[in-house]
Amino acid sequence: MQTLDMPEIAGICVATTASTVVACKRDGTPLRSALLWMDCRAAAEADRSSASKNPVMDYVGGANASEWLISKAMWLAGHERHIYDEADILCECLDYINFMLTGGWVGSRMNATCKWNYDSVRQRFPVELYAEFGVAGLEDKLPPEIFAVGAPIDRISESARAHLGLSDRPVLSQGGSTRISVCSARAR
C-alpha cells in the first residue's frame, strides 16, 4: 500500500458501539459472527443477574442488560458451549479493533465497569460473581489489562501502520463507546 502524504499523526483513539461482543482465539481469529450490541438473546441471563447480592452489581443498577458482555457470555456458555470453551478471548468490538492495531489485548475501564461487572474500586474482575453466573473462569477470557478512557495503550504495530498507509506509528489511546472519538495531529 502506498504511504499517504499527510502530516504526522501523533495519536488515534477508536470509538465503537458498546456491547458488540467478539469470541476469538488469542491471535484474533474469530470463532463466530460477533453478537451485535442490539442482540437481546441473553434476556433470561440478564434477568438472572438481578438476583445477585454481590455489591459490584451496584455499579450497574443491580442487574445486567441483555446486550452487555456478561449476559452474552452467560448465553454463549449455555447455548454455544463449544464456542465459549474454545474462545481464548471474549471482548468488546473496541478491544478487538485495538488488538488489531497494537497486537495487545486491553479493555476499556468504562466498558469493563459498566458491562463486565469489573470492580473498578478494587481494580479486579469479580471471579466470585462470574462463578455465580455460571461463567467461572471468564476473567481468563477477558482482556487482562484495563485502561481508563484516554490513557495511552501503545504505538500501533508496524503491520497496522503499513496496512493503514501511515508514515509513522501513532500512539493508540483507549477509547470507549459511542460518544468518544479523538484524533490529533501534530503540525510539521
pLDDT tens, residue by residue, 38-62: 999 999 999 999 999 999 998 889 9
CA-wise closest residue to 27 among 106, 95, 83, 100:
100
d(CA 70, CA 81): 15
User: What is the reported pLDDT for 181?
Assistant: 33
User: What is the reported pLDDT for 135?
Assistant: 98
Which amino acid is located at 100 in the chain?
Answer: M
Per-residue pLDDT tens, the chain, 188 aa: give them: 555 566 688 999 998 888 999 999 999 999 999 999 999 999 999 999 999 999 999 888 999 999 999 999 999 999 999 999 999 999 999 999 999 999 999 999 999 998 999 998 999 999 999 999 999 999 999 999 999 999 999 999 999 999 999 999 999 999 986 533 333 343 32
Long-range contacts of 154-162 (CB under 8 A, 24+ apart): 154/102, 154/104, 155/102, 156/12, 156/101, 156/102, 157/101, 157/102, 157/103, 160/100, 160/101, 160/102, 162/1
Residue 148: other Cβ atoms inside 10 A: 12
Which CATH superfamily groups domain 9-185?
ATPase, nucleotide binding domain (3.30.420.40)
